[in-house]
Structure 1
Amino acid sequence: MFSIIFKLNNFQVRAANNIRSLFRELNKKIPDLLIIDITSDGKDGREVCKHLKAKSGLKRIPIVLMSTNPNQLSNYKDYWADDILEKPFNIQKMVAKAKSLIQKNYWQRNV
């Protein structure tokens, strides 16, 4: 579903259905943004986020954590996430948030 929404909004999308495939994809190409479900593949997406942000080549990628449980998202900054998405989500807000994070990251790296 995310892939379709983002493709319809002119994003290039590479999806990973589990954490293992996420790391395979990251070895191929560094994305402009990651959206990680907190309960992904039996792993805590918050810990995955923190792990990725600890790696020098990946720490600048904006990461959005997503969950149906707002309590799981309340401490997202402790895991170095850049933002959160609470499910169910508003499509327009999600796309706007993604664009904003990508633009902010671009300007931080290039100014």
Structure 2
Amino acid sequence: MGPKTQELINVLGQLIEILESDGDTHWNQWMRSARARLLDSDYSGVTYLLSAYGGMGSFNDVVLGQSRVDGVFAWKPGHVELNEQFDTLRAEAARLAEAIRDSQN
């Protein structure tokens, strides 16, 4: 396993923690699956991860820190910082996955 793959595994671990802390199940499971594949030295983890990006309703569109209070939309405390950290990790995961993919071609 190369250093970029190890770094990607670490970034995915951080993404999983953030998604879990916000109560997300769909993308949390997606990132867990991609990470598990990479831990098994399965290159499909890279292509699987990259398939989450792009298009409507994709991983790019996820915004964290939203809730409903008595049926009314509300932002959770700290949502700005949460989304800034999430955006940084999401972009880093894509960058690393693309670099790994490009090195295989």
Higher RCO (C-alpha 8 Å, min separation 6): 2
Structure number with the higher helix fraction is 2
Q: Select the structure of larger CA radius of gyration.
A: 2
The two structures have a TM-score, normalised by structure 1, of 0.27
Q: TM-score, normalised by structure 2?
A: 0.28
Greater share of strand residues, 1 or 2? Answer: 1
